Chain A
Amino acid sequence: MLFPTTDFAIFFCIVFLGHWWLNHDRRLWKIFMIGASYVFYGWWNWRYVFLLAGVSAIAQLAGTAVSRQQDQRRRMRVMALGVAATIAPLLYFKYYGFFTVNAANAGSALGLHVAPPLIQVVLPIGVSFYTFMAIAYVVDIYRREFDLASWSDLFLYLSFFPHLVAGPIVRPNELIPQIDVRRDPRHIDVVGALWLILGGLFKKVVIANYLATAIVDPVFGDPARHSGLEAVVGIVAYAVQIYCDFSGYTDIAIGVAKLLGFRFPQNFDRPYSARTVQEFWRRWHMTLSRWLRDYLYIPLGGNRKGTTRTYVNLMITMLLGGLWHGAAWHFVVWGGLHGVYLMVGHWKQEKRRAGMLAEPPDTPLMVWLQRLTTFVLVCIAWTLFRADSVATALTLLGRTIAGWGEPSPLVTMPVLLAIGVGLATQFTPHGLAERIKAGAARMNPVALGFSAAVVLFVITTLGPRGVAPFIYFQF
């Protein structure tokens, strides 16, 4: 079920009533919410609910086994086994085709007859997200940072519909304690929730969808036929599109959870205002970044084992982060490029600490120069992310240098305006939004509902007809 649909609106009204009606009875409430979340997930394909239930069961069995081990070595072995079992379905669904095709072609190139069964494995929606949450659960039990939860708590933690399809990747200690405690029905931040939901819809329906069709898809579809200006604007437009698409989705998810009295962690914090690539990763898809840090980078040794090892760990983390986004070489190269950025950033940091490199002056000009440089680096990497192959990305990047002086019919005022609005969201003062929300909070329910309806009407009318899927659903 997609958020911006009438199906979801009807579903949510029913769930909202059931949620607050059963709030006093935790057992019934959990059964109801698990059922609702499975209906939400099964709306795409009912067969996938068995996968969700299977991953949940594996995680709970693994967590149970880990919690029973007192000997640290045995505990670690059981945890490793549990994590392997939890991630196995994801590896199969996401990477089977990639590895069989590459194995078959490598074998053919070497003159070997390698014939793995070529079956098309369709990636179930959201599996990457809830698998990562399941791994976090098993590992946190191993680290004694979280106690074993009940079966119903764990099933609801993994399936809770607001985060189910594309995150945010919520940690066990952020959500399970909320599941266990009766939600307070007296103080729901409806204005904050509506702000997030309507703002998210605007970013997705109006900006992201428009930029996709107006310039991004044509430019990335055939870079060789587009001018240098179109190539540059197309790449920047994609940076805005993916931000508006993904942050729009998570804003809606966080807003929906808020209406049910739940608090989710933020996933984006003005990423294009970052002054370094390290800072970008602290602001972009924050819940994935910290997952990679806590469950991959730190277990690899983090920065505790010397400079070289730190670089290696950074690169491994980013390469696997790239591969997580998709089983294709251009995602791997995208991750590798970010790995290089982070290594260079780390190297500069080390040199500054040692006094071998001067700190840049903290002037407004320098701040904007750093932001611009970071944005350009991130955009170059986005080109690899969006293109369907490394070759296409290189062609497009080549056009940004060679294709100047040619007509650029795709670079129109509405395109530039949409890009401008998308980028402006990174620099709008918090105070402005707070003033608007404070004004809305003074309205009575009828006026607030009516105002929200008018805004919703404007958004749905400005956007194209139909519902385009969110980019991050494919990951």
Chain B
Amino acid sequence: MPEIPEPTTEPAPHTDDDRSAGGRAGMPAGRVFVVTVICLVVWGLLYAPELKRSSEAQPDGLRRTVSNTILGPVVWAEDRIGVTATVNAASRALGRDPNAAVGGSVGGIPVDIDQLPTVSPEPTPSGEPSQPVLVDTPLREPTPNDPLRVAVVGDSLAAGVGYFAERVFKPAFVNVIKQGRISTGLTRPDYFDWQAQMRYIMQKAQPDLTIMMVGENDQQSIRAPNGDVVTRIGTPAWGPAYRQQVQQFAETATQDGGHVVWIGLPNSSDTRRWPFVKFQNQIFQAVARQLPNVAYYDTWDAFAAKDGGYTAYFRDGGHVTLVRADDGVHFNSDGYTILMQQVAAFATTEFRLDPKTYGS
């Protein structure tokens, strides 16, 4: 860079410009507009089924309503004249499953454990349904030959926790199964079906410990896997219905002796979200109290300012660390690391997780 002779203040060469324009006659603006509109309209028609699926996966609101109003008749017509089938075939040929849920299909997140564990955490007699555990049981002792299986499950916050769980837990004693998926939650199985995915994870990997962090995207009506609204947000029925989703999720993860640390949602810079998030945290906490082998870890107070408000910084003695991302919701890498260290220590307290499995 600085090796070019000085002074060097002439305009930069338009090398590519000159090449691309060379020898070709330009087109008048009117025709360029025709090209642009044809390109966008034809693409819109080809991509309409996918756009409609994406539109339906959005939260309720004006954008979703307008998109669905425009795309509904287009896709209906394309279905009738066979365009959808052709486009779907093209999509399959290009490697995309056109019928998969927009947020991904169950099993779409690879469970990076190649084979089922040789030792079940809580062996049950074959053929008998597993008995409910009435009190918390300790986590088993991991060995290098049979490391602990820890799944980190949930939305984008869990995706962050998953990466840093890998750093905090020692590879010799813990296999981390990262299952975070952005923009997902428990209210929209039509977008991504977490209940089915959790069953898949249990069947495929049988985690000893599942760390869950989900709920940031759940401030919306609860839908069925086919997209129909089951319980509207803002109605009295929403809380019990959401609790049922949370409970079902936790019960699946604790079957056969699995353990769950449910990480509560942290406060965010947008204080308008606080009442709803606190309500969600109460539900998570209540379910954790009710079910054995499920423990709730509170991040609200752990990452709040001294006055209880939002802060992006974490103080450890005199040392200050920026822990939150610019969006005021997520954590940065230091934040996820601190959170994961706290969760690991909490699992030691609650489930006697061996401290040798993680670094401080």
Contacts and interface: CB of A to CB of B under 8 A. Distances in A.
A259 B9 contact: no
Interface in A426-475: 430, 434, 437-438, 441, 445-446, 448-450, 452-454, 456-458, 460-462, 465-466
B269 interface: yes
Interface residues of B, number: 73
Contacts of B91: 461
B15 A266 contact: yes
B24 interface: yes
B24 A108 contact: no
Interface in B1-55: 1-4, 6-9, 11-17, 19-43, 46-47, 50-51, 54
Interface stretch (B228-236, B295-303, B314-322): B314-322
A104 B8 CA distance: 42
B35 A303 contact: no
B102 interface: yes
B199 interface: no
B142 interface: no
B148 interface: no
B90 interface: yes
B269 A120 contact: yes
B46 A189 contact: no
Given A173-B11, A456-B39, A458-B94, A185 B326 contact: no
A293 B1 contact: yes
Contact of B166 (A104, A222, A266, A448): A222
A293 B166 contact: no
Interface residues of A, number: 95
A346 B20 contact: no
Interface of B: 1-4, 6-9, 11-17, 19-43, 46-47, 50-51, 54, 90-91, 94-96, 102, 112, 163-164, 166-167, 171, 182-183, 269, 311-313, 317-322, 324, 326, 328, 333
The 5 A-B residue pairs whose C-beta atoms are closest, nearest first, are: A449-B38, A187-B26, A108-B318, A192-B20, A453-B42
14 contacts: A97-B312, A174-B12, A254-B17, A281-B1, A282-B4, A293-B1, A297-B1, A342-B1, A342-B3, A388-B333, A449-B36, A453-B41, A456-B43, A458-B94
Interface of A: 6, 9, 12-13, 16-17, 20, 97, 101, 104-105, 108-109, 118-120, 122-123, 140, 143, 145, 171, 173-174, 185-192, 194-196, 217, 221-222, 224-225, 254, 258-259, 261, 263-266, 269, 278, 281-282, 286-287, 289-290, 292-294, 297-298, 302-304, 313-314, 317, 342, 345-346, 349, 388-389, 409, 430, 434, 437-438, 441, 445-446, 448-450, 452-454, 456-458, 460-462, 465-466
